Structure 1
Amino acid sequence: MKVETRLFAWLAPFFALCGVVYGVLTDWQEPVGSAGLLLVAALVAMIGGYFTLLAKRIDARPEDDPHAEIEQGAGDQGVYSPWSWWPLVVGAAAAISFLALAVGWWLLYLGAALAVIGLVGWILEFSRGQHAH
């Protein structure tokens, strides 16, 4: 987690500096750009803070060791559902939600309902059926 933590730790002040420079160059007359850049800095700082806390909780990964061998990263990388249809449902919900921007806001309700169904199904997929544990 060292690389990710350092990346986000350096990006947060960079975006904050960009937001201040943007505000100074526009005489603070265009607040959307500077506010957007400052919000990006805050979001990047939150991700960096999360990675910092996560790095303290988990053991060092092979990616963090400059002398590591390739085979040290072999093995299971996580739990993935191989034949899941729920990501398709979530993707369709996202497509419908973005379509609401062009067609009408009423369509957003349908997309949000489908997203809730898809997310609940995806999260609880291993809690029932043949893959339950």
Structure 2
Amino acid sequence: MKEQTIFELIHSMDNFTNNLIIQWNKTFNEELGVSHILVLGHLQAKGKSRPSDIAKSLGLTPATLTHLSEKLVQKKLAVRLTDESDRRIIYIQITDMGIDMVYRANQEGQLLRRKLFEKLTEEEREQLVGIYRKLNS
């Protein structure tokens, strides 16, 4: 494969991803970005977590996670908890409002995916899934 082709492929994938994020942000009007929802999703799946563990798991910097979690706490989608045995250890935990937000974000995401991927035939969708599985393995 030629280098130019690789960069064209990466550029096309980035454009698609950016467009997907832009479209989702337009439809999901909650003043939250994809990263906020990813943090909430992590908390929903893993339970209360230390910020450093969340950052590592999602590939974010600790400073970015601090910024994201501050907004989640302000919006009452998450709370900060201190460890009973060591008050220096802080955890972040999702609230019921946060769980509802993840649900609504996923619903919007499913609608958006349907709109985007209905342009493809069933065979093309199966090929795309196969390609992504192969690339991710």
TM-score normalised to the size of structure 2?
Answer: 0.25
Greater percentage in strand: 2
TM-score normalised to the size of structure 1?
Answer: 0.26
Structure ID, larger Rg: 1
Higher relative contact order (CA 8 A, sep 6+): 2
Greater percentage in helix: 1
